[in-house]
Amino acid sequence: MKLKIALSVLIVFAILGCIAEFPKQKVTPTQAEFQYGIKYPAKVVYVYDGDTIKVKLDNKILVIRMLGIDTPEKYPNKNKPYEYDAITNLTYLAKWGIKAKNFTYKTLYGKKVYIEFDEIAGLKGYYGRYLAYIYIDGKDFNALLVEKGLARVYKEGKFRKENYYLQLERIARENKVGLWRIAE
């Protein structure tokens, strides 16, 4: 009889142990958990070029393509004539691609930034990179690249800040800032 009671108690504890709630742990955001309009703190750990960086968010590494902008490529053969409207000098564009990368590196590398996703653009682009606005010291870094003539507005996709960025690009072009110094 004592054996039956002991076995019954053991079975009850085993069942209770299986259904007991475990304490919740902090979870690093995954693609499904990111929300639009929230600025997530991250540290820039690598700069690929003027418009693509790698960040550490909690314990996750994300490759971020800056949303709404496009900087020239660093190599002439990677640029295309007329991609920056009338500019056809690919060596000229590559020089501005290097300047854009250097500016991004100097401004962002090793620093705390905030990344924000856009509900219109979605979380990821064609190449599987996250698409985000980057903020440093409260400033929109993507917009800063356009203002300084280091980037054009990426018109091939839709995003919330498109009209604002187009206005900044128009001003940079009119004032021949950055890569827009070349005659159009």
Residues catalogued as catalytic: 65, 73, 129
Amino acid at 42: A
The three-state DSSP-derived secondary structure of 108-140 is: HCCCEEEEECECCCECECCCCCEEEEEEECCEE
CA-based nearest residue to 87, from 102, 100, 76? 76
Q: How far is 95 from 79, CA to CA, in rounded Å?
A: 11
Distance (Å, whole) CA 180 – CA 184: 8
Q: At 25, is the secondary structure helix, strand, or coil?
A: coil
Q: Longest Cα pair distance anywhere in the chain, in angstroms?
A: 99
